[in-house]
Amino acid sequence: MTASPIPERFKRHALQPEEAQRRLLARVGRLPAETVALSQAWRRRLAEPIAAPHPFPPFRRSGMDGYALRAEDVRAASAGSPVTLEVLETLPGGTAPTRPLGPGQASRIMTGGMLPEGADAVVMLEMTDAMERGGKPFVKINKSVPPGENMAGIGSEIREGELLLEAGRLVGPGEAAVLAACGYAQVSVFRKPKVAVLSTGSELLEPSEPLAPGKIRNSNAPMLEALIREAGAEPVLLGKVPDDADEAEALILRGLEAADLMVTTGGVSVGDYDILVDILARWDGETLFNKIAMRPGSPTTAAVRGGRLLLALSGNPGACFVGFHLFALPALRAMQGVRDPLPFRFPARLAVPFPKVNAFRRYVRARSEIRPDGTVWVAPTGEDQSSLMTTIVDADCLIEIPPLKEGYSAGQPVMAVRLGERS
């Protein structure tokens, strides 16, 4: 092969977003597990499935405040003709019965209490009258009950060994309750992915710096830091570099060593100062893709070096935001054991016309709304062309607009990608 006269940066082949996601995810492995205390497991993902270690409830539990008894003893009981039973003991929650019931016997029991041997039903307190006879406690039962009434049998809620939580599941309030109930004071979760962030661009200032002519403050790094935390990962902030390929390359190599995913912003277009393009053209890494048939973020680029991933996002805040959701987030989910890590998509209707003609698929930052008739509508949060951060602030989804020769009218059915993390 002879060297091509066309510069490498112009020879890009555009992939469909799905193909780019597929290529990226093919290179992502699950991270190792680690054990943490239950209270530290919040917002982590389970490394192992959780099965019920014993049946729930683990004993025959009263569902009422009343008397545990033998249903056959009160078969004929009624308000007019009550049945009198001897009361053996009182069983509040947390107390093991000490005396099995024989014929004609009952025990006072509270909601959640453990039924004594011999009992097979509970009569609620309101259907009874306590009394004493010869200094001993008795109770009049004014109602018959079928066997099993007002009680939960062993395993009636959950059978022993039943799968309760799948591996990869996010630990939220319900999961914490299940883990505690199953005796997991320690939980095996996937290690948090480390994500290094480097911003490139000579125009960037730190948030603390005063404005200067031609400069803007770097808003992508703080945005990515929050997105990375939302994804259950740990940001490693490498700061910013001017448009200098050597300086950037040194930091990228450092980030690839320190992190499971290296994310850069800026420098991926085809301009004279797009240094990521230069770095990828000369280094010994493998480029997975460098052009995607979508807007914004068409020059979004991914590469692998030494088994570590580099995702080079556009410096435009809107494109950076979309690129993170479509590519970084699925990778971080996959590292944490999520079986279907791709973004969650939902059908909706377009609340306003979208008159723009598209040669490529567009991901439009949008807000969803449920109307009184229970239908979901989505409306762009601002002008799609704009790089406004304000269109990111209000967005809770991205409308997918396919390539269009004529625009869409309001009411058009569309698909949208939900933003934010999910279980």
Q: Enumerate residues 275-304 that contact its own copies by CB under 8 A.
A: none
| Binding of its own copies by 3 (CB under 8 A) | no
Single-letter amino acid, residue 414 = V
Helices (H), 159-274: 173-181, 220-230, 245-258
Residues within window 251-280 making contact with its own copies, judged by CB under 8 A: 269-273
- From 31, 69, 114, 322, residue interacting with its own copies (rule: CB under 8 A): 114
- From 220, 265, 300, 336, residue interacting with its own copies (rule: CB under 8 A): 220
Residues within window 31-90 making contact with its own copies, judged by CB under 8 A: 38-39, 42-43, 54, 56-59, 65
Token pair, residue 312, equals: 């080079």
- The minimum distance between CB 229 and its own copies, in angstroms, equals 6
- The minimum distance between CB 400 and its own copies, in angstroms, equals 14
Handedness of CA 410, 411, 417, 423 (dihedral sign): positive
- The minimum distance between CB 41 and its own copies, in angstroms, equals 9
Longest pairwise C-alpha distance within the chain: 111
**Binding-site size, its own copies (CB under 8 A):** 102
- From 21, 107, 142, 218, residue interacting with its own copies (rule: CB under 8 A): 218
- The minimum distance between CB 26 and its own copies, in angstroms, equals 27
Sheet with 121-124, side-by-side order of all strands: 121-124, 66-69, 105-109, 83-91, 136-141, 128-133
Residues within window 139-198 making contact with its own copies, judged by CB under 8 A: 157-158, 164-165, 171-185
Q: Quick one: 193 or 285, whose CB is closer to its own copies?
A: 193
- Short-list 374, 373, 422, 372, CA closest to 397: 422
| Binding of its own copies by 354 (CB under 8 A) | no
Q: Quick one: 31 or 91, whose CB is closer to its own copies?
A: 91
- From 5, 29, 134, 374, residue interacting with its own copies (rule: CB under 8 A): 374
The angle that helices 245-258 and 275-282 make with each other, rounded to 10 degrees, is: 70
| Binding of its own copies by 393 (CB under 8 A) | yes
- The minimum distance between CB 185 and its own copies, in angstroms, equals 4
d(CA 260, CA 235): 10
Q: Quick one: 24 or 275, whose CB is closer to its own copies?
A: 275
Token pair, residue 42, equals: 């919040």
Q: Quick one: 215 or 356, whose CB is closer to its own copies?
A: 215
| Cβ count near 377 (within 10 Å) | 18
- From 284, 340, 373, 406, residue interacting with its own copies (rule: CB under 8 A): 373
| Binding of its own copies by 346 (CB under 8 A) | yes
Handedness of CA 142, 143, 148, 152 (dihedral sign): negative
Q: Single out the segment in contact with its own copies by CB under 8 A; choices: 1-9, 99-107, 143-151, 216-224.
A: 216-224
- From 348, 366, 397, 401, residue interacting with its own copies (rule: CB under 8 A): 348
386 CB-side CA count, 13 A: 10
Q: Quick one: 267 or 341, whose CB is closer to its own copies?
A: 267
| Binding of its own copies by 17 (CB under 8 A) | no
- Short-list 43, 388, 346, 359, CA closest to 192: 43
Q: Quick one: 85 or 223, whose CB is closer to its own copies?
A: 223
Q: Do the Cβ atoms of 45 and 170 come closer than 8 Å?
A: yes
Strands (E), 158-285: 163-165, 186-190, 194-200, 204-205, 216-217, 234-241, 261-265
Token pair, residue 46, equals: 């389970």
| Cβ count near 321 (within 10 Å) | 26
- The minimum distance between CB 386 and its own copies, in angstroms, equals 6
- The minimum distance between CB 19 and its own copies, in angstroms, equals 25
